Amino acid sequence: MEMPKRYKILVSKDAMQDIQNTKEYILNTFHYRAYAENFSRKIREAIEKLEPFPFACEDAECSIEGFKVYYRPYSTYIIFFVVDGDAIIVVRVLKDRMYWKAILKRMKQFEL
């Protein structure tokens, strides 16, 4: 039986900023450091779980830099990513109630 393809996971600057903004919001609003750290740890674990089968995730029906964007929900967040050869690149991590289609359609590129 053939082993599944292995992917390297990269996180774009926008996605890192999304995670940092959420963490700061938790700290500033609730003053609860443990919850903020827990959010950061769990979202990173969810990102790591993209690795074995990225194409099993949903198609966001848009593209960035010619790459099809996929997404995977996690709790009340959505992890958006593209696949470039042997790399999964997380491009955004947004709240599920945000108008994410408009946000993604405005993105012309991502930066690592």
Find the CATH number of the domain harbouring 87: 3.30.2310.20
CB distance 88 to 51 below 8 Å: yes
Eight-class DSSP state of 110: -
Q: Does 101 map to a domain?
A: yes
Q: Distance between CA atoms of 77 and 98, rounded to whole angstroms?
A: 9
Structural domain that includes position 64: 8-106
Q: Decide which of 41 and 101 is more confident.
A: 41
Q: Does 3 map to a domain?
A: no
Q: Distance between CA atoms of 48 and 100, rounded to whole angstroms?
A: 22
- Per-residue pLDDT averaged across 32-49, rounded? 94
Task: Assign 4 a pLDDT band (cuts: 50, 70, 90).
Answer: confident
Q: Is pLDDT at 61 greater than 90 in this prediction? A: yes
The predicted model scores a pTM of 0.92
